[in-house]
Chains A and B, each alone.
Chain A
Amino acid sequence: MNAREIPTAIRNGETTAKEVLETYLEAIHNREEEIHAFNLVLEEEARNEAERIDTLTAEGENLGPLTGIPVAIKDNICTQGVPTTCSSKILDGWRPPYDATIIGRLREAGAVIVGKTNLDEFAMGASTENSAFGPTRNPLDTTRVPGGSSGGSAAAVAAGFAPLAIGSDTGGSIRQPAALCGVVGVKPTYGRVSRYGLVAFASSLDQIGPFAETVADAALLLEVISGHDPLDTTSIPEPPLDLSTALTQGVEGLRIGVIDELSGGAIEGISDDVLECLEDAVQALTSAGAIVERTSVPSTVYGLSAYYVIAPAEASSNLARYDGVRFGPRVDAKTTSEMMVATRTAGFGDEVKRRIMLGTYALSAGYYDAYYGKSQKVRTLIMNDFANAYKKYDLLLSPTAPTTAFPLGDKTEDPLQMYLQDICTISSNLAGHPAMSVPFGKGTDGLPVGIQVLASAMDEHTMFRAGAVLEASNQGKS
């Protein structure tokens, strides 16, 4: 059953929220030990919530568009009274005294929160191997990574642990794992979804978004979590999205540009099987009536370099609050500053430390202009290039990730190789634009490939039109 069929089925009495939940809990019992998608399964809380929903539904109450749908939440999103760890030892035992805005919206819409999913520590990584609680494995091939940093959420949906999941995307952390796990993942326009309660990695790039098995389900979840929030100043003053008509509208007449640089052009390392899938996607969109051609977005080649200055710079500041003073574990020492150093040394993993150091350096007096200042200029350049491209095209297209899922341990010794996983996704974060990954075809290893649909700011609607067409075509093939 697709996620969007669940509320109707419950309302019609064909099933109950409890029954739905038990199906997913059974899947979790069967495979979670092997996959490790979750840092915490909220079995009891979920059962209570499902029962509450069933009672209210029996009383004739209409609980909203997500009634009885189990949803998995990335463990960097605050849940009141429930541990929120960011997969870091430094938040061990911390229970937020408040819910993130989107958690409130999910509860109001009738969702059942099944657990908190694993991630690369503080969302820094592309394989979910940088977790203090151990890696998540790809449900399609457990010798492979699920991608990251929202690997736990992607794996949860791919493994059937939950039909919907929430992730966060700073440089590709929803789209890349979606591609590697063969599910749909969406990074909305920056400001479309409130960040209140999302533990910040890089505030100007972070955006919460949905994972789902289908494009329609992803749309359903995005509709619920989107919309203005007065608690997030950067949230866009717009009502929640309504994507219902996009799903059936088709792409007839849409102009779509394939980003040359990311499709075998300037940037190397995109594997041939992925490029073949991209060609198939172009064919599919063309036969559905779109006008598809290659185009250049020249500054995308600098995206990765700019990103690895801006994101660590913001992270170095955002992660400074983990000092052992107010919350989380504390390593005692003789003086306050020694205590802070000891706490941070013990609490953070290597990748987090690496990025804090990178970012601190980039912001330092004497280096600011050369690194942070210059990266901001690149960011502006990327925005301009995208703006030019969208004068000509309604949408842009590229692969989501350079390869299919890679083996665990393959890139852990080489941070640069790991960073290259985000080469296709990063520019959307720098520009603040929406982008989604839709499964399309398979690599030579039989693992799924994701195709990325990019749209201009606020144009999720057109993006979902193409996403739905790609999905239908992909299903037709297999």
Chain B
Amino acid sequence: MTDDILDGWETVIGLEVHAELATNTKLFSSARNVFGGEPNTNIDPVSLGLPGSLPVLNKKAVELAIRVGLALNCRVQRSVFARKNYFYPDMPKAYQISQFDLPINEGGWLELPDGRQIGIERAHLEEDTGKSSHVGGGGRIHEADYSLVDYNRAGVPLIEIVGAPDLRSADDAREYVSELRSILVAIGASDGKMEEGSMRVDCNVSVRPHGNQEFGTRCEVKNINSLRSLGRAIEYEARRQVDIITSGQKVEQQTRHWDEADGRTHTLRSKEEAFDYRYFSEPDLVPLDPSLEWIAEIQESQPPLPRQRRIDLAKAAEIEPTDAALIVQKDLDEFALSVIKKGADASRVLVHLANNLADGVGHLTVDAFATLIHLETNGDLSATQAKTVLADLVDKGGDPTQIAADHGFEAMDTSELDALIESIINENPDDWTAFVQGDAEERKKKSGFFVGQVMKVTKGQADGKVVNGILLRRAEN
């Protein structure tokens, strides 16, 4: 398969994202909701589906679900729990309590950083299953010697967010998931950790010739564990489907399994083998009908969403909202705003936050950071020096001026710098003439040369901006 096989084809993607809600206890019982732990320690009669046990709805889970609905511009409505019936060892009751025809949140959208709106069909509450491990036989249930089941996860609250088929590429899909993740984290609904399985993505993919309005037959791809595999799985699946169609066959509606190791999707079950879940209203629970007052209360206490935070930061820093995305995604926007509010140069603040804080702010305080930026913009520290001081501040904290002094980063006396530049000019008279008489492009090139020479001699201690200033002054005189 070559890359051009997709030329002339459009990939249509709709995602179903399951996120574990960050509650203290499970959706229907008081067993603890925590990741990890010895197998089968966070359980109770309800988690195990013991005979006679009954579910009691967790109010916090409902609140978080409503938060998600509001953040995704959904209608929050009266909803009904339903039983989804199927047999599987890690499903304690042999049915999952979910929501079917009346979900708590319906009909919203998510805005990507570039402003495109992706439809949200619904976001409903349901309980998680336990986890099986199959021992022997390559870890698959059918060939295993025996299986072990851990019910710690059984009954953990999930929100299932069903997106409309509005995404058109692997990049779209990754952006959507990463925006959704930022929203869930921002409102405290979920920790959004894909690697711990607290956020899981199933992906519906179909292809159609460009310009076609009708959707192609879709396949659902499961077992996607990272943003990277999401992109790979979509690309593989789109190519596979185009391959089938261009060779004159028809895509079969299937559920497929992404295999990270071989980079392919494999048939899990066909449409004919699809489960009949025999949904019906859960008789053990009454309908969930949150009051308008409560919904309004939740709306009022909703923290700012990533989209608003990008706008706020962009406004303060006088940049485009898309350029604020990285800082917001790193959850450093509030920090950036505080530093900018202290009068620090916004563009320098953002550059450092985006590039030089891989592991977070550490011991860096708003005041120290603002002081550092002032030192840099005053010309007391070069960009390189500032970066070194910043690393120390993150590491141990302290006073930026003192740290700069400890490193021997004394701002160069301009007269000293002036003398140095003069001697470099004298050593390179042709370059100087070219700088003085050249057009803008030539001047830029030559200024780069002179700055480079100065940096070489000062071992990067000089401030490039200051050097440029001196060069211009001399050229004009």
Which A residues are closer than 8 A to B by beta carbons? Answer: 77-78, 84, 86, 91, 94, 96-98, 100, 195-200, 202-204, 230-234, 313-314, 316-317, 320-321, 323, 325-327, 335-337, 340, 360, 363-365, 368, 372
Contact = CB atoms under 8 A, between A and B. Distances in A.
B472 interface: no
B462 to A, nearest CB: 72
A84 B51 contact: yes
Nearest to A372: B280
Interface string B124-143: 00000000000000000110
Interface in B223-282: 276, 278-280
A337 B52 CA distance: 24
B155 to A, nearest CB: 13
Contact of B278 (A86, A196, A321, A363): A363
Given A233-B54, A320-B95, A360-B278, A336 B283 contact: no
Contacts of A204: 283
B319 interface: no
A313 B50 contact: no
Interface in B49-64: 49-57
B192 to A, nearest CB: 30
Given A234-B286, A320-B94, A365-B276, A97 B54 contact: no
Describe B's contact surface by its main secondary structure: loop
B395 interface: no
A454 to B, nearest CB: 22
5 contacts: A86-B51, A196-B54, A197-B53, A320-B93, A360-B278
Contact of A196 (B52, B89, B93, B280): B52
Interface of B: 45, 48-57, 83, 85, 87, 89, 92-95, 141-142, 147, 149, 276, 278-280, 283-286
Contacts, number: 102
A233 B56 contact: yes
Contact of B50 (A97, A233, A360): A97
B283 A97 contact: no
B51 A78 contact: yes
A232 B56 CA distance: 7
A174 to B, nearest CB: 18
A352 B50 CA distance: 19
A200 B51 CA distance: 7
Given A320-B95, A321-B49, A326-B49, A233 B87 contact: no
Given A203-B284, A320-B94, 6 more contacts: A202-B283, A234-B283, A317-B280, A321-B51, A321-B92, A335-B141
Describe A's contact surface by its main secondary structure: loop
B52 A317 contact: no
A313 B50 CA distance: 20
Nearest to A90: B51
A313 B52 contact: no
B6 to A, nearest CB: 36
Contacts of B92: 321, 326
Contacts of B52: 77-78, 84, 96, 98, 100, 196-200
Given A84-B51, A200-B52, A321-B49, A234 B142 contact: no
A179 B349 CA distance: 84
Contact of B89 (A86, A232, A320, A336): A336
Given A317-B83, A321-B94, A325-B89, A234 B51 contact: no
Given A199-B52, A326-B48, A340-B87, A234 B284 contact: yes
A317 B95 contact: yes
B476 to A, nearest CB: 83
A146 to B, nearest CB: 24
A327 B276 contact: no
A306 to B, nearest CB: 14
B56 A230 contact: yes
Nearest to A313: B280
Contacts of B284: 200, 203, 233-234
A363 B283 CA distance: 14
Nearest to A361: B278
A234 B89 CA distance: 28
B170 to A, nearest CB: 33
B285 A233 contact: yes
Residue of B89, B93, B283 ringed by the most chain A CB atoms within 10 A: B283
A424 B8 CA distance: 69
Contacts of A327: 48, 50-51
B26 to A, nearest CB: 14
A17 to B, nearest CB: 28
A232 B52 CA distance: 11
B5 to A, nearest CB: 37
A208 B355 CA distance: 67
Nearest to B83: A317
Given A317-B280, A320-B87, A91 B51 contact: yes
B94 A323 contact: yes
Contact of B57 (A200, A233, A321, A337): A233
A232 B54 contact: yes
B45 A336 contact: no
B51 A317 contact: no
Nearest to B85: A317
A313 B82 CA distance: 13
Contacts of A86: 51
A45 B254 CA distance: 58
A363 B85 contact: yes
Contacts of B149: 325
A317 B97 CA distance: 11
A325 B89 CA distance: 6
Given A78-B51, A84-B51, A98-B45, A337 B87 contact: yes
B56 A231 contact: yes
A320 B284 CA distance: 15
Contacts of A230: 56
Contacts of B53: 196-197
B75 to A, nearest CB: 24
Contacts of B93: 320-321
Contacts of B276: 364-365
